[in-house]
Structure 1
Amino acid sequence: MSPNALFTFFSLVVGSLGIAFLVLYGLAWIGARKERVDAITLASQDNDIVFLFDDEKLVNATPSAQSVLAAAADVGSDWSRLLSVMISKFPTLQYEIAELADRGNMALESRDGSAVLKCEWRNGLARLTLFDRETEQAHIDMDRHSLMAMEQELETLRATTENVPFPVWREVEDGTISWANSAYIALADSLSDTGETTSWPPAALFDTKLLAQAVPNESRRLNLKDRNGEPHWFDIHRFTIGCDSLYAASSADRTVKAEETLREFTQTLTKTFSHLTIGLAVFDRNRRLALFNPALTDLTALPAEFLITRPALTSFLDRLRDNQMMPEPKDYKSWRQEMAALENAAEDGTYEEVWTLPGGMTYRISGRPHPDGAIAFLFEDISAEMSLTRRFRAEIETGQAVLDSLSEAIAVFSGEGMLVMANSAYTSLWGLDPLEGIAETSITDATRVWHAKCAPSPLWGDIRDFVSQTGERSDWIGQTRLWDGRRLNCRFVPLPSGQTLVGFTPEARASTLRPALRPQASGTHFVKM
């Protein structure tokens, strides 16, 4: 055979093989396509709830299945939407479906045993069929009005949960979120590092272990940090519904901020009060100790460990009594009545009392009302003040006794011209009551009394001027006569702080003197010293 003929033969053979290969490939492709189309296509008479998924994309679903998806949350992909309605019945679905391609098929039973989810892997697609055991065994009749009422109630509940401004969610036993409202999903989206829309189930935002420890129907405060690391606080309420847990979270940022402000204010007050020497004890409206300073422990000898426990007012007073830090009562019943009166008086802001303690200490106790029904007690150690007062009083009494022992009538006037001291000889000379002789008496009042019992004289005007005079002054003396005829010697001595001493010495009446006559003004004179 010639070379040209051989080349032509081989060309025909290769071309025939290529055409045969293309025909076979086309037939295979058409068959695979037909199988995939058959797999995607659901029989119109199929009334089961069937879903077909290509990865997370829904490629087909029966009308019943589409009705199920209509109630799903609008979160992420088609698969996430299906999980939002299926995970409550099939908690392990999201984990086991990942093995479907390897296993080929599986059947999952719902938690309550009322349904079965059959999963099959067909030509790269996941076919999920939901069988309801209860409806297979019994036919449920429902009139149109009942169905409309149920749908209306469902719509109302759905609208309510979707529009509440705080997160609400439900978890199954293993902590997987089976339902969440829009506020929770929006919060999860805002805290997501990627900023992508949250898929189902959404991430657990709060520590499940801490929430599980929360007492049912009581709140627990937890915080979340945003993308900037700023904490946001929530008060979370937990409710048990069968084997599931329902949670509701309300924002507590304002409350936490107010508490921090109050805490800082209290700390500032505590630091301020810590430097005071007066003991402070503030009791709240429930009469429990809310605030105290270190001086209180020093004055009352009450341990700080006891005060930190926030004792009640009655316990606080009982401990004071036990430590002999308050006057010993005659009997316990009367003491209790006094303590009740103390509390009532403190509420009105009228309580103030001096306690003389067995150890010789003296305390001044004051009660002051505070806003919101609180009461503040002030404990002030006035032992030194009382000791000084007693010493001053003793010195004054000694000085008064010395003055009373003198025969000269002596009176002392202040720089303002008020009588501050007089002896018994003075009150006897001028016929004054010993108890009222110096009460609110001015130099004008005194000279009026003197003038009434003496002959007229310009001496009294000079005395008023001398007492009210400021600056440097000198001692001087003068004389006048009493109406009984006796000569009255007067001396006037300036004292420190603008005070003035006035002394009167009447001469003894002579036996040869005639009956007293009113002397003329010319018989009166005074001499400067």
Structure 2
Amino acid sequence: MSLLFDNGVLHHASTAALKRFSFVPGRHVWEDLRDALLGQFPDLPGSDAAGKIKLRSAHAGDPLEIEISWRDGLCWVHLYAPVVADHEVTTTPPQPSPARDCINTMPHPAWTTDAEGRVIWTNDAYVKLARQIGNHTDTTKDDALFVLDGASDPQRCVVVDATGENAWFEVVRHPTPDGHINHATPITGLVHAEEAQRTFVQTLAKTFAHLPVGLAIFDREGQLGIFNPALVDLSGLQASFLATQPTMLGFFDALRENRRMPEPKNYQSWRQDIADVIAAASGGQYHETWSLEDGRTYAVQGRPHPDGSTAFLIEDISADVTLSRSYRAEIEQFEALLDTVDEALVVFSASGILTFCNDAYRVMWGQTPEAAFADVTIHDAVKLWKSKVEDGTKLSGLIGFSTSIGPRPEQRFELSLSQGDKLRCTLKTLAADATAIRFCRIPTAAPAPVPSAPAPA
């Protein structure tokens, strides 16, 4: 028979010992055992003894022996005797058990409960944890170290230590004919990580809540994990639907049914097209513009993340597209208006690149910049002009004026074409350091009229 006392309180005992003395762990103490054995062992010390002792029964013919060891508040008691019905004891002391040694050296708490839920055995890790949380010694069901509801397996339990810190454990219960064997795995780090993740997600949600761009983040399993209110407005999908965490395919299916993405031309290849979209987004290569039936225009991007998740950004760019179209129409109208002007006009940017010319310029100099394979520069234009003016005409000043930075006074000079026509050239600075050059033909003076002969008288 074996018994273990922790600071004078029975911690656990073998089945034979529990039957022999009718003890209950957590309720009986050292003095109860001493009272029961004092008749056989009158020299049995009190609970404050130390070291290790071995006593023989004082009764003649009684082979019962008791061995007691004290260490760090723990007291081991072993009773040895031949098998005798009156005593119900074993004949030999318990032999070393690798299984018992393995359990007692486990870093995680383990314990056994009976059918009523009372703790009847614990390993050393359980005892150590009980001491850490404030010398907990009562292992009865009403005040157990781990409070289990029995509703789930595994289940999480929290233990508050003496400093008020929470220690989280995941408890797994294994049923036995007489009760349960329980194992507790520390998961405090995991719980803190989950709390940090939830806080981070909430922070992201609050941050994205005010963005006008719709955000949909799908996890590595392809399910919607995060979305913001702008996505509800832009997609036209109910928040209750998005809260069900649809898959990417289900999300795009719902967009198509809600007419918030271009209608597919071929319904048979629709799902393959969506699979291609998902694959492109996962590779960071998806960036398209959707023109919807109601006239709105969406810019859609797919961006991958290192953890395997994928984010889709949906932005309503209808106003920008409308403004761009209006601006483009105004530019085209302005260019058409300049084409009606008789003077040749050409504009160079601050870097000397030809950005605009009208029809009169094309006709005068025989140059079509939009047909060139590369950008036409001021150097190219001056080279062309020199080929069509009188030899010796210096045009290097045009290059210097066009490539200068800052305000410049307007300049005018005359050119003579090799064919005899004369041009008036005007240089003027525009916004952003651009340069406008205007060529105007100078009319040739008409010859003086020849007086006619007088009429005969």
Change (3 A) 1:438 1:494: farther
Letter of the 2:99 partner, please give it: L
In the other structure, the counterpart of 1:314 is 249
Do the aligned residues in 1 keep the contact of 2:171 with 2:183 (CA within 8 Å)? yes
In the other structure, the counterpart of 2:194 is 259
Please state how far the C-alpha of 1:293 moved relative to its aligned partner. Answer: 2.2
Letter of the 1:255 partner, please give it: L
Cα distance in structure 2, aligned partners of 1:197 and 1:493? 97
Cα distance in structure 2, aligned partners of 1:205 and 1:157? 24
What is the DSSP-based 3-state SS (H/G/I as helix, E as strand, rest coil) of the residue aligned with 1:291?
strand
Change (3 A) 1:74 1:367: same
Letter of the 1:207 partner, please give it: V
Please state how far the C-alpha of 1:457 moved relative to its aligned partner. Answer: 4.8
State the identity as a percent: 36
Q: 4+ runs of 1 displaced by more than 6 Å?
A: 87-90, 199-202, 507-512
Do the aligned residues in 1 keep the contact of 2:216 with 2:311 (CA within 8 Å)? yes
1:12-51 superposed matches below 5 A: none
Letter of the 1:164 partner, please give it: M
Please state how far the C-alpha of 1:267 moved relative to its aligned partner. Answer: 2.4
Letter of the 1:85 partner, please give it: T
Change (3 A) 1:80 1:444: closer
Please state how far the C-alpha of 1:365 moved relative to its aligned partner. Answer: 0.7
What is the DSSP-based 3-state SS (H/G/I as helix, E as strand, rest coil) of the residue aligned with 2:199?
helix
1:116-195 superposed matches below 5 A: 155-192=97-134, 195=135
In the other structure, the counterpart of 2:172 is 237
What is the DSSP-based 3-state SS (H/G/I as helix, E as strand, rest coil) of the residue aligned with 2:315?
strand
Q: Taking structure 2 as the reference length, what is the TM-score of the superposition?
A: 0.75
Change (3 A) 1:393 1:86: farther
Letter of the 2:335 partner, please give it: Q
Letter of the 1:182 partner, please give it: D
Please state how far the C-alpha of 1:436 moved relative to its aligned partner. Answer: 2.7
Cα distance in structure 1, aligned partners of 2:177 and 2:362? 98
Change (3 A) 1:384 1:89: farther
Partner residue of 2:425 out of 481, 490, 502 = 490
Partner residue of 1:207 out of 147, 167, 170 = 147
**How many corresponding residue pairs?**
386
Gaps of 5+ in 1: 1-67, 99-134, 137-146, 513-529
Cα distance in structure 2, aligned partners of 1:331 and 1:86? 80
**Does structure 1 residue 387 correspond to structure 2 residue 322?**
yes
Please state how far the C-alpha of 1:362 moved relative to its aligned partner. Answer: 0.9
Cα distance in structure 1, aligned partners of 2:414 and 2:226? 69
Do the aligned residues in 2 keep the contact of 1:366 with 1:379 (CA within 8 Å)? yes
Please state how far the C-alpha of 1:360 moved relative to its aligned partner. Answer: 1.3
Change (3 A) 1:478 1:156: same
Cα distance in structure 1, aligned partners of 2:174 and 2:117? 14
1:356-367 superposed matches below 5 A: 356-367=291-302
In the other structure, the counterpart of 2:261 is 326
Cα distance in structure 2, aligned partners of 1:437 and 1:412? 16
Please state how far the C-alpha of 1:203 moved relative to its aligned partner. Answer: 4.6
Do the aligned residues in 2 keep the contact of 1:421 with 1:438 (CA within 8 Å)? no
Do the aligned residues in 2 keep the contact of 1:170 with 1:178 (CA within 8 Å)? yes
What's the CA shift string for 1:246-297, capped at 9, x where partnerless? 2211111111111222222222222222232222211111111122222222
Please state how far the C-alpha of 1:434 moved relative to its aligned partner. Answer: 5.3
Change (3 A) 1:407 1:337: farther
Letter of the 1:307 partner, please give it: L
In the other structure, the counterpart of 2:310 is 375
Cα distance in structure 1, aligned partners of 2:195 and 2:10? 45
What's the CA shift string for 1:170-196, capped at 9, x where partnerless? 22222112322111122223334xx36
Do the aligned residues in 2 keep the contact of 1:188 with 1:203 (CA within 8 Å)? no
Cα distance in structure 2, aligned partners of 1:463 and 1:86? 114
Do the aligned residues in 2 keep the contact of 1:170 with 1:179 (CA within 8 Å)? yes
Do the aligned residues in 2 keep the contact of 1:75 with 1:200 (CA within 8 Å)? no
Partner residue of 2:357 out of 382, 397, 422 = 422
